Amino acid sequence: MGTHRLRYQDAELTVTVKKSDGRFVVTVDGQEVIVTKKGDGYVVANGSNDSHGDAAVSKSRAFVTLDSQLIEFELAGADAVSSGSDGGQSGEKDKLRAPMPGKIVKILVENGVAVTAKQALVVIESMKMENQLLSPSDGIVKAVHFEAGDQVDADTVIIELEVDEE
């Protein structure tokens, strides 16, 4: 089975999973943990500690509950699926859209600049919190439709990119 990379705050963890005898033998940065399906969720045996939990994953994140504490990881490496690559709904690699209504705090790039995938392009404020919007792919900025201070609706295209389609 596979190797996965997960980010939690500043830490990046490398995790490998092997299945044997109906259990999962999982190695997290060299530390071995046994995960067993039990009832509605899983039991994680880590040294002398047993904890109970469950997990679900979206295309960009993993949500874990462990002894009722919630822990969220960001997926890195091959697991981080962009919405375009597996038949997702929008599949646009050349447009950065506002994921929720909000106010543009800062535009971090200008027309004609080359950007890389996941590079921060825009800072937006929604629900009283500032968040970065990251580039959907490598490319060159073709158009910037808004400036700092503008209000945008969900799904509005903020930046368009010139993307080299293979």
Partner 1 sequence: MFKKILIANRGEIAVRIMRTCRVLGIKTVAVYSEPDANAMHTQLADEAVSVGEASPLESYLVIDKIIAAAKETGADAIHPGYGFLSENPVFAETCEKNGIVFIGPSADSMRLMGDKVSARQIVTKAGAPVAPGMNSAGADVSAFKKLASEVGYPVLIKASAGGGGKGMRLVHAEAELEDALEAAQREARNAFADDRVFLEKFIVQPRHIEFQIIGDKSGNVTHLFERECSIQRRHQKIIEETPSPAVSEELREKMGESAILIAKAGGYYSTGTVEFLLDKDDKYYFLEMNTRLQVEHPITELVTGLDLVSEQIRIAAGENLSPEVLNATQRGHAFECRIYAEDAENKFFPSSGTLMRYVEPCGPGVRVDSGVRENDIVGIDYDPILSKLITFGANREESRLRMIDALERYTILGLKTSMHYMLDILQKSEFISGEIHTGFIEEVMSENGTETGDLSDSKLVSAAALAAVALESGTRFADTSANEDGFSVPTPWQSGSGWRIGEAE
What 3-state class would DSSP assign to 152? strand
The Cβ of residue 153 has, within 10 Å, a number of other Cβ atoms equal to 10
Q: How many residues bind partner 1 (CB under 8 A)?
A: 81
Tokens of 4: 């996965």
DSSP secondary-structure letter at 138?
Answer: S
Tokens of 101: 């209504």
Q: Which of 10, 21, 22, 89 binds partner 1 (CB under 8 A)?
A: 89
Annotate each residue in 6-45 with x if it binds partner 1 (CB under 8 A) or - if it does not, as one string.
x-x--x-x-xxx-x----x-x-xx-x-x-x----xxx-x-
Q: State which residue, 83 or 140, has the beta carbon closest to partner 1.
A: 83
Q: Based on the shown chain and the rule CB under 8 A, indicate whether residue 156 belongs to the binding site for partner 1.
A: no
Tell me if 104 sits within 8 A of 124, measured CB to CB.
yes
Annotate each residue in 40-79 with x if it binds partner 1 (CB under 8 A) or - if it does not, as one string.
xxx-x-xx-x-xxxxxxxxxxxxxxxxxxxxx-xxx---x
> Taking the complex as a whole, how short is the minimal distance between the CB of residue 21 and partner 1, in angstroms?
15
The closest alpha carbon to 103, from 31, 154, 33, belongs to: 154
Q: State which residue, 31 or 111, has the beta carbon closest to partner 1.
A: 31
